[in-house]
Amino acid sequence: MSKTADRTVRWVKSSYSSGDGGQCIEWAPEHAAATGEVLVRDSKTPTGPHLTLSPEGFAGLVAFARASG
């Protein structure tokens, strides 16, 4: 995990986040397209740490969310 140094990253709430505010995950699609690194964070702590995943790692996370939902 690391802190986001660049505050210009645009974060988007995942469609797999719950609507009740309990499980809110955001990712940075433009950053992923530009760098190949998929950033993921907890929307409740936007200044906190984030995960940096490979595209394959992110695909695994999405598969897990689908299977758990």
Amino acid at position 23, single letter? Q
Q: What is the pLDDT of residue 4?
A: 47
Residue 33 lies in domain:
2-68
3-state secondary structure 23-65: CCEEECHHHHHHHCCEEEEECCCCCCEEEEECHHHHHHHHHHH
What is the pTM (predicted TM-score) of this model?
0.75
Domains contained in the chain, number: 1
Query: At 13, which helix (H) or strand (E)?
Result: strand 12-13
Spans in the chain with pLDDT lower than 70: 1-7, 16-23, 69
The mean pLDDT value of the chain amounts to 83
